[in-house]
Structure 1
Amino acid sequence: MITEYHGETERMTIPACPKHRLQRLGLVLWLGLLLLAMPQLLPAQGADYQLGPGDKLRITVFAEPYLSGEYIVSANGSVSMPLIEPVKVGGRTLPEAEDLVEQGLRAGFIGDPNVAIEILGYRPFFIIGEVKSPGSYPYVADMSVLHAVAIAGGFTARAAKQKIEIQRNGKVMRSIQNTTPVFPDDIITVKQRFF
């Protein structure tokens, strides 16, 4: 509200009503909960995730910037870094891979290396069968079968939505639900329904 007083403009503040205060408090609480949930929204890099060909890594060797950088796990499951032999990280967890890189550096030129590895990009998953755009797609953390189908353009008209299979590590899982988690390298097959 603006009022005139002897030719000068004076700004008056209007106290906020209790309804607006509650809305602001609710927004602040919601943002706080979102920040607490952020680690779960980020890609899962837990101790149980096994590295494989195609994973993109950031390897940091502390106090050795010329060794630090981005590396891709090769088709044979190894990472090639300067000064050391290729390190086999395929099938290893992040802590195991860090230990292997440290051992390689210790055997080479660095007395007491300190290594940290994080995943920048996961290897893809595959989806075939009755989806609109079958193929290979980049993996997204915390992905479910329904998310994978959506990425592939959705179901076709002939899709048997209750007959989905996942091939993982050479084993076929049947009777898959829409909420079933998807992992890198999974092959999802959406079966065709018959009229």
Structure 2
Amino acid sequence: MITRTAFVMALALMLAACSGYRQPPTAFHDILTKPYRLDSSDVLRVIVFGQADLNNTYTVDQAGYISMPLIGSVPVRGLTLRELEKTVTKRLKNGYLRDPDVSIEVATYRPVFVMGEVTNAGQYPYVAGMTAQNAIATAGGFSPRALHGTVDITRQINGEVISGRVPITDPVRPGDTIYVRERFF
């Protein structure tokens, strides 16, 4: 009996060591309640009231910039929408417009990526309020070998890439990578 118990405990420790799983830090879920930070592939709708020539949609490039008439390249990566509005307003005031009224919104968020045991792994558009389960459904649902209860999500927070195992009901953010693991049996 003691040998059997020792064997089971040793097996459990080996499996835990092999999994490499750590509970995600609190920042992993805290980011869900913070203002959205812009990054590459976001498409922004910029409106400068009374200036139809400046109203347009702009895609954030790989370097994290948008290029607008009059003011040129504007660094966007890591900014909130309000911070970007202030930056654009300040640049337009600097010799171009007397009192610009700027409004910026996200027209299209950067995509989410669904990998692993799903029918159609790939890149999918993010929709506000999306959960891991919604993303999996968008990817054609689980494959027959998929583990259904939890997924691994990788997300970038303040320039650091963090992964965590979460229930499929957890919300996802634009740019997240969702990995559906294979079940053992």
Q: Who wins on radius of gyration, i.e. which is larger?
A: 1
Does the 8 Å contact 1:53/1:123 carry over to 2?
yes
Paired residue secondary structure (1:70) = strand
Cα distance, 1:55 vs structure 2? 1.0
Gaps of 5+ in 1: 1-45
Paired residue secondary structure (1:99) = helix
Paired residue secondary structure (2:35) = coil
Residues 1:129 and 2:116 are matched in the alignment: yes
Runs of 4+ aligned residues of structure 1 deviating over 4 Å after TM superposition are none
Cα distance, 1:97 vs structure 2? 0.6
Inter-CA distance 85–118: structure 2 relative to 1 (3 Å threshold): same
Cross-structure match for 1:151 = 138
Cα separation, 1, equivalents of 2:153 and 2:163: 6
Q: How does 1:1-150 map to 2 (within 5 A)?
A: 48-150=35-137
1:87-125 CA distances to partner (integer Å, 9 max, x unpaired)? Answer: 111111110010011111122411221100011111100
Q: Which moved more, 1:154-163 or 1:183-192?
A: 154-163
Q: Which has the higher contact order (CA 8 A, sep 6+)?
A: 2
Cα separation, 1, equivalents of 2:73 and 2:93: 14
TM-score by length of 2: 0.77
Does the 8 Å contact 2:150/2:168 carry over to 1?
no
Cα separation, 2, equivalents of 1:49 and 1:119: 10
Q: Which moved more, 1:97-106 or 1:129-138?
A: 97-106
Corresponding residue pairs, total: 149
Gaps of 5+ in 2: 1-32
